[in-house]
Structure 1
Amino acid sequence: MVESVEPVAAVQSAPLGIPHARLSGLDRPDSVLVRVRAQLPEFTGALQRVAEQVLTDPAGAARATIVELAERSGTSPASITRFCRALGFEGYADLRLAIAGETGRAARSAGWAEDIGRAIEPGDPLERVLAQIMAADTQAMRDTAAMLDLAEVERAAAAISSANRVDIYGASGSALVGAEMQFSLHRIGIAAWTWPDVHNGLASAALLREGDVALGISHTGQTRETVEMLAEAGSHGAVTIALTGFPRSPLAELADIVLLTASQATSFRPDALSARHPQLVVLDLLYIAVAQRTHDRSHAAFQRTARAVDAHRFSNGQSKEGDL
């Protein structure tokens, strides 16, 4: 299932014009490609073509002169300069150095990393497919760790730990990720519900109040239903949290707390699907942070739930329900 990405109204903002806390690792020199991917939906025309060229061949961009990159992207040197400034660099030399440093580190990594970005062909052996998937997911996890603002995770954990109830919103693939989080929170005694249907989600959001928490999950941050549900929750005083890959998306702009993830698309796995593992890592971190804050209650909840299902577990190789 691929997440719905019906666009909502574009958010206008100056380059890098979001709070520094939400940028976190995005302004680090070792995450320039993450920065380009995160801002890609905001670029139009010439800047978008430059961004796509850099992401398609970052090593080539690191070697190219400003004129060569302009020719490859079908733009002009002036457009390259505007692109650099949109990313927070003073000029093209700084951008080249940042990309060269990042691609150089990737080239020195273990052998499987060299397949990142290579298209998976129908005749590829499963060994190569596995290596590429592992390389892409590993890089996405590293990028996510670099850009994730741990202070925002702390704020989210504090809000959830003291919440009366937690609503989780998401469509399609994001709904599956949300269901995992709901299960984890419910297991430690946090009253949490997940709402993949917009009608039910809006009805639940309308009943939230101060002291409650709403979590919206959307890789693009543009899924209309998820944006609407989180906005409804926020309008009634709930603390709103967005889990998304794009810091200036509509979902991120309306949330009180923003948790950012990165992704590495591969053949047969577009961004929305490739984002699942980074999303789960961030939510696992958030869940553990909540469990730490509610240790006694969480430990007691684990014991009670374990006893409740113990009769349905195998013992000494035999099922308590008989042969299954």
Structure 2
Amino acid sequence: MDTVYHRIQNHYDDLSSTEQLVVDYILNNGDFLNLKMKVIQESLHVSAPTIVRAIKKLSYRSFTDFKYALANSEKQENELNPEESYEALIDSISSDFSRTIDMMDKEKLYAIATVILQSHRIFCVGIGSSVSVVNSLNRKLKQFGLWSNDYTEAAPFRDIADIASKGDCLLIFSLSGKEEQILESVAKNKAKGVTIISVTGFSNNPLAGLSDISLLTYQTPQKRTKLRSRLMLSVAAEIIFETILLQKNEEK
């Protein structure tokens, strides 16, 4: 399944931080066909070669090719519809779901499943409205027979570094990827050789940069920030768990 969002998932980690900002800006713009390279240059204070380089790393020949790939992606018209209504809400969720599924990469998911299955201990981490995602996945991992605990408050985050060691993994769900409490814990555990796996919203964020494996989900840009839906994080969590089951069965 080689869609534009699948390519972004595959190659996003290959981009520099500036190139990631370019891609983020393009996706958040929405009006892809009318977006001019000059606007990106002036808004982000980047050069045209930087924009072109980012596009080529995503395996597109030109800025125009990338714009048309985005514009032609499934249900693009729903994201461009500014109307706030029940129908627009359903269209937006449906579009986010389709794009998140498109972004799921088989090799990356199997790599995550391998780490989880081979880890001595799994520390499931999340804060705020990501807590429900973490609690649900942690419960399934325990039922599957893995050593797994959930950590959903700042104080326990700090304690992880005191008990985690090489051979363990942190599985972190964070839409923004910018929570200071989580980033501090990640830095300490990474220094101890703990494997870091993160699932975040699509953006240039420090958590993804610190992770050994980062999985991105898609969400239509929204005006509200504090009450953003974590539904796509739940989708990713379900896919991760099902991949674990699949890989375990294949090993038999």
What interval of TM-score do these two structures reach, taking the shorter chain for normalisation?
0.7 to 0.9
Match of 1:115?
Answer: 78
The answer to whether structure 1 residue 25 and structure 2 residue 7 are counterparts is: yes
TM-score norm. by structure 2 comes to 0.76
Match of 1:138?
Answer: 94
Match of 2:51?
Answer: 84
TM-score norm. by structure 1 comes to 0.61
The answer to whether structure 1 residue 278 and structure 2 residue 232 are counterparts is: yes
What is the one-letter code of the residue matched to 1:273?
A: R
Match of 1:310?
Answer: none
Do the aligned residues in 1 keep the contact of 2:222 with 2:228 (CA within 8 Å)? no
Q: Distance in 1 between matches of 2:116 and 2:27?
A: 41
The answer to whether structure 1 residue 58 and structure 2 residue 32 are counterparts is: yes
Q: Deviations for 1:90-119, whole angstroms, at most 9, x for unmatched residues?
A: 9xx92223212432344xx5xxx6332434
User: Structure 1 pair 223/155, CA: closer, same or farther in 2 (3 Å)?
Assistant: same
Match of 1:196?
Answer: 152
Query: How far is the alpha carbon of 1:293 from its aligned partner?
Result: 4.1
Choose 155-164 or 94-103, whichever is displaced more. Answer: 94-103
The answer to whether structure 1 residue 177 and structure 2 residue 133 are counterparts is: yes
SS in 2 for 1:215: strand
Do the aligned residues in 1 keep the contact of 2:141 with 2:147 (CA within 8 Å)? yes
Q: Deviations for 1:168-189, whole angstroms, at most 9, x for unmatched residues?
A: 1122122222122112212222
SS in 2 for 1:259: strand
Q: Distance in 2 between matches of 1:207 and 1:255?
A: 19
What is the one-letter code of the residue matched to 2:64?
A: R
Q: Deviations for 1:257-311, whole angstroms, at most 9, x for unmatched residues?
A: 111211113455x49724x22211221111112223445xxxxxxxxxxxxxxxx
Query: How far is the alpha carbon of 1:221 from its aligned partner?
Result: 1.7
User: Structure 1 pair 115/159, CA: closer, same or farther in 2 (3 Å)?
Assistant: closer
Do the aligned residues in 1 keep the contact of 2:31 with 2:80 (CA within 8 Å)? no
Match of 1:259?
Answer: 215
Report how many residues are paired.
240
Match of 2:62?
Answer: 94
Do the aligned residues in 2 keep the contact of 1:26 with 1:146 (CA within 8 Å)? no
Q: Deviations for 1:137-190, whole angstroms, at most 9, x for unmatched residues?
A: 222223223333321211111121132221111221222221221122122222
Q: CA RMSD in A?
A: 3.8
Do the aligned residues in 1 keep the contact of 2:41 with 2:47 (CA within 8 Å)? no
Query: How far is the alpha carbon of 1:59 from its aligned partner?
Result: 3.5
Q: Distance in 1 between matches of 2:204 and 2:41?
A: 26
Match of 2:242?
Answer: 288
Do the aligned residues in 2 keep the contact of 1:166 with 1:215 (CA within 8 Å)? yes
What is the one-letter code of the residue matched to 1:159?
A: V
Q: Distance in 2 between matches of 1:136 and 1:243?
A: 20
Q: Distance in 1 between matches of 2:124 and 2:9?
A: 29
SS in 2 for 1:88: helix
SS in 2 for 1:273: coil
Q: Distance in 1 between matches of 2:31 and 2:136?
A: 35
SS in 2 for 1:190: coil
What is the one-letter code of the residue matched to 2:67?
A: I
Q: Distance in 1 between matches of 2:18 and 2:139?
A: 33
The gaps in structure 2 that reach 5 residues or longer are none
User: Structure 1 pair 166/146, CA: closer, same or farther in 2 (3 Å)?
Assistant: same
The gaps in structure 1 that reach 5 residues or longer are 1-22, 122-127, 296-324
